[in-house]
Structure 1
Amino acid sequence: MLNRALTAPALLAALLTTGVTTPAAAQDPHPFWVDPQSAAARQAETWQQAGRIEDARQMRRIAEQPTPTWLADADPTFGIERAVREADGRTVLLVAYRIPHRDCGQYSAGGAESGPAYLRWIDRFAAAIGDAPALVILEPDAVPHLLDGCTPARFHDERVDLLTKAVDRLKQQPRTKVYLDAGHPAWVPNPWRMVPALMRAGAARADGFALNVSNFRADAEVIAYGNTLGELLGGKHFVMDTSRNGSGPPPPGLAEPWCNPPGRTLGRTPTTATGHPRIDAFLWIKHPGDSDGACRGGPPAGNWWPDYALDLARRPDKAPGSRTEKPAP
């Protein structure tokens, strides 16, 4: 096995002397930066040093994949600037998650204190990206919560105005792609209901929309929904979260099925080679192992939960939508 610590010239020399060929597609299945200091990477190193060799190996299945930097704190610049600096030309994955009245006061409650404060935050967010290549998932849940009765009606006009302005500000960055979150097919099953909300929120000027963020719907279901939604939006493309959908959704009747459900597995690994003309990327938008909330013994939403991560990584795939399934034609 080649030494992963070799410098680029030494690596090239090693390849030439060993006769190994490394097609670009095999080496680089995606253009995204992988954070070497992610929670999963640190956990794998901790377990390796503690002698938990097999657990460390399983954890590296997560650590070696790109996941976004989620920005929700008052100042987004440090996290973005670090990612851009360390990415060194690779595309950084970012999630903007600070819309006012976020998550309707539920597990991920919070957000900016006002509309003007949010727009100032988005301005800092965009400025920190600069001219680096970036893919931004804009405000998970913000649009679907306008349709499910969760966000009070008095906040609707402000929210769509803020999202539209956020899209426009982010698109001022020359190499930034923006995808508005559109939930998943079990949340707003009728795409005809989702389309007007997305259009009001600036979808026409975004690069597309995101589906299945932090959820577990199987690939085939999400792809069918996304293709229909994209067609209704005039040919828009989409990205989809495959971080934890390898076994599809949890069984019917499970209370809070979106919150740390047991028995789930990792889905398709991130790639831009999706095999679908309208899907720009399969992504692990939710970090596998980050808790959905204080349910089923988990820590607060967004906190690292190594036991759940390990369970995801070591379970075999059981259903369509797994990382071993070939893309549908």
Structure 2
Amino acid sequence: MSRTRGLRGRPATRGRLALLTAGAMAATALGTGGMLYGTASAAAAACSVDYTTNDWGSGFTANITITNEGDAPLNGWTLTYDYSGNQRLAQGWNAVWSQSGARVTVEDAGWNATVAAGASVSAGANFSYSGTNTAPTSFSVNGVVCGEDGGGGPTDPPDPTDPPGDRVDNPYENAGVYVNPDWSANAAAEPGGDAIANEPTAVWLDRRSAITGGSAGNSTGLREHLDNALVQAEEHENFVFQVVVYNLPGRDCAALASQGELGPNDIDIYKTEFIDPIAEILGDPAYADLRIVTIVEIDSLPNLVTNVSPRETATENCDEMLANGNYQEGISYALQELGAIPNVYNYVDAGHYGWIGWDDNLTASAELFHETATMNGGSVDNVHGFIVNTANYGPTVEPYYTINDTVNGTSVRQSSWVDWNRYVDNQSFAQGFREELIRQGFNSDIGMLIDTSRNGWGGPDRPTGPGPTTSLDAYVDGSRIDGRYQAGNWCNQAGAGLGERPQADPAPGIDAYAWIKPPGESDGASEYIENPEGKLPDEMCDPAYEGNPRNNYNMSGALPDAPLSGHWFSAQFQELLANAYPPVN
């Protein structure tokens, strides 16, 4: 996948967690085999608290959303609650966390001190524990017990069951998710791979032959996958099937590793021989009870913003695709054809924070997305949401520094790593970009997905706290968990690890963390390997490559000896497993 970025933007203000005007969000966590589990929440007259966890056995991440249910704003807030076991705080973010005995105290971080009536604020923290990890049963905000008049403590998760064909707000909520047997078999064959082989991953349709199956890397066709999903769905009341639609004409114009089978002008072939057959299969009434999540065209529209003339990052291929309009034409057609199927949920690829997080890229991208969704008689109603970090390595959350931090009075935005970007991680970017997309005309209930398959950055090199304040760069480089040379590096990154396990409703505005790029599948090769898939070698996949304008001339950071994109890369899988964060038990 090409994960490139444009020229640096101008100085920007911080993108922070959105304060949603909706009520408290019920959340769920995905376990192995696609099972979803309900989470604790507390209803209240003046405040409510949603508490969700991602547990890996010896530790867990706690995510907390406080909603102001009163008639007046909160001007400063302190949340307190107690654990009944030996849970111990490791580090927190988006608030000031502390613990004394069983009591945990969470105070506002200053910038999020004011919470309007009906609005929400979120924070998270990592904890260690042994034995049982029972959820707290009572929460207080500013000394007031949440739910005191209505009964606090855990409640049953909502039942979002709907008649077949009716879309729900979040397809992942209280739903099982398809485990791709092709990927699962590859993972299980690796030493230690059994621990994650039952995690749900997406099915990739990256060429016409993948629809029918039987080719290398796609032994199972789309219809057979859907039939398998029906079998897996028998154990679940609701069930999600994830599929990546990825075969645009002139695909991946800013890189070579995952260029595809169709030439720049093959738009008619794309429509009639790729999208139409997919739509026909997905629209089969046999699959009407599935919630089918389509990830629409990775690495396409953002390229038309950042990698076209007159920018230094421009490529001839991207200039051609901007001029002929076939990226927009193809995506517009796909959204309309797939969006006409009542149980299909379209999520459009939206790059990542290290690509379009700068101000001059952010708004232009949102404008282009809206133009594309509404051209040729299309509607924003065909877009259920957007996905960030697909097949990329940018952290979901940077726990040890934020864009608000300063060192000796100088903002971290001026550091070499941040480089005036508005965001330092994908979750804050997804939430901020969601707001911009809504301002540009998308529906206010759109949701975001984050691909967390390879962005954990665990292992011995992971920081355990903020970096030294001896200099701005020392602080940022010592704080960041992202171990890459540069945020534009995208190919088979050395030192990466598995990220957060798939889960629904992990944060406001985020429908799910999902494993869209199957861990262990290569991003591309650095040397030519004969193939019928149209894939070429890419210098960004060469460990010795010293970079280009799209990664500010940094080393590529790629692992050596990688196979073609989409093909199994055992060495990468083993490294992802070893560096997983949360760790794999």
TM-score (norm 1): 0.79
1:43-85 CA-to-partner distances (Å, cap 9, x unmatched) read 52x45xxxxxxx2xx2123311111110012242552211110
Distance 1:323 1:111 in 2: 38
1:81-101 CA-to-partner distances (Å, cap 9, x unmatched) read 111101114321100010010
1:221-265 CA-to-partner distances (Å, cap 9, x unmatched) read 1111111111112133211100010015333259x7311111111
Could you tell me how far 1:30 is from its partner in structure 2?
Answer: 4.8
Aligned-partner SS, 1:167 = helix
Q: Do residues 217 (structure 1) and 448 (structure 2) align? A: no
* Contact 1:39/1:304 (8 A) holds in 2: no
Q: Do residues 260 (structure 1) and 492 (structure 2) align? A: yes
**Paired letter, 2:318:** P
**Paired letter, 1:216:** Y
Which residue number in structure 2 is paired with residue 196 of structure 1? 367
Which residue number in structure 1 is paired with residue 336 of structure 2? 168
Q: Do residues 86 (structure 1) and 228 (structure 2) align? A: yes
Which residue number in structure 2 is paired with residue 313 of structure 1? 577
Which structure has the larger Rg over C-alpha atoms?
2
Which residue number in structure 1 is paired with residue 183 of structure 2? 39
Task: Report the number of matched residues.
Answer: 283
Which residue number in structure 1 is paired with residue 321 of structure 2? 155
Q: Do residues 135 (structure 1) and 315 (structure 2) align? A: no
Distance 2:486 2:429 in 1: 23
Match 1:123 to one of 254, 271, 276: 276
Which residue number in structure 2 is paired with residue 14 of structure 1? none
* Contact 2:303/2:318 (8 A) holds in 1: no
Which residue number in structure 2 is paired with residue 272 of structure 1? 504
Bigger drift between 74-83 and 84-93 goes to 74-83
| Match runs of 1:296-307 below 5 Å | 296-307=560-571
Higher strand share: 2
Bigger drift between 231-240 and 144-153 goes to 144-153
Report the aligned-residue RMSD. 2.5
Distance 2:387 2:573 in 1: 23
Q: Do residues 110 (structure 1) and 260 (structure 2) align? A: yes
**Paired letter, 1:84:** L
Distance 1:308 1:198 in 2: 33
| Match runs of 1:42-57 below 5 Å | 42-44=186-188, 46=189, 55=191
1:298-321 CA-to-partner distances (Å, cap 9, x unmatched) read 11111101221121112253xxxx
**Percentage of identical aligned residues:** 27
Q: Aligned pair in 2 of structure 1 residues 62, 100: CA closer, same or farther (>3 Å)?
A: farther
Could you tell me how far 1:168 is from its partner in structure 2?
Answer: 0.8
Q: Aligned pair in 2 of structure 1 residues 184, 65: CA closer, same or farther (>3 Å)?
A: same
Higher relative contact order (CA 8 A, sep 6+): 2
Distance 1:140 1:80 in 2: 19
Aligned-partner SS, 2:334 = helix
Distance 1:172 1:323 in 2: 41
Distance 1:182 1:253 in 2: 19
Distance 2:301 2:267 in 1: 16
TM-score (norm 2): 0.46
Distance 1:316 1:304 in 2: 18
Q: Aligned pair in 2 of structure 1 residues 198, 61: CA closer, same or farther (>3 Å)?
A: farther
Could you tell me how far 1:199 is from its partner in structure 2?
Answer: 1.0
Which residue number in structure 2 is paired with residue 179 of structure 1? 347
Could you tell me how far 1:197 is from its partner in structure 2?
Answer: 1.6
* Contact 2:391/2:451 (8 A) holds in 1: yes
Which residue number in structure 2 is paired with residue 50 of structure 1? none
Aligned-partner SS, 1:311 = helix
* Contact 1:41/1:60 (8 A) holds in 2: no
* Contact 1:126/1:169 (8 A) holds in 2: yes
* Contact 1:250/1:257 (8 A) holds in 2: no
Which residue number in structure 2 is paired with residue 241 of structure 1? 451
Aligned-partner SS, 1:93 = strand
Which residue number in structure 2 is paired with residue 13 of structure 1? none
* Contact 2:207/2:260 (8 A) holds in 1: no
Distance 1:141 1:98 in 2: 11
Higher helix share: 1
Gaps in structure 2 of 5+ consecutive residues? 1-155, 158-172, 214-220, 234-238, 308-314, 375-379, 398-424, 439-443, 458-480, 526-540, 542-559
Could you tell me how far 1:283 is from its partner in structure 2?
Answer: 0.5
Which residue number in structure 1 is paired with residue 431 of structure 2? 227
Q: Do residues 69 (structure 1) and 203 (structure 2) align? A: yes
* Contact 1:268/1:323 (8 A) holds in 2: no
Aligned-partner SS, 1:95 = strand
**Paired letter, 1:283:** A
1:126-175 CA-to-partner distances (Å, cap 9, x unmatched) read 11112342101001001111122244334222211211111011011110
* Contact 1:164/1:200 (8 A) holds in 2: no
Aligned-partner SS, 2:196 = helix
Could you tell me how far 1:211 is from its partner in structure 2?
Answer: 0.2
* Contact 2:456/2:500 (8 A) holds in 1: yes
Q: Aligned pair in 2 of structure 1 residues 270, 159: CA closer, same or farther (>3 Å)?
A: same
* Contact 1:291/1:298 (8 A) holds in 2: yes
Gaps in structure 1 of 5+ consecutive residues? 1-23, 48-54, 325-329
Distance 2:486 2:318 in 1: 27
**Paired letter, 1:139:** E
Which residue number in structure 2 is paired with residue 17 of structure 1? none
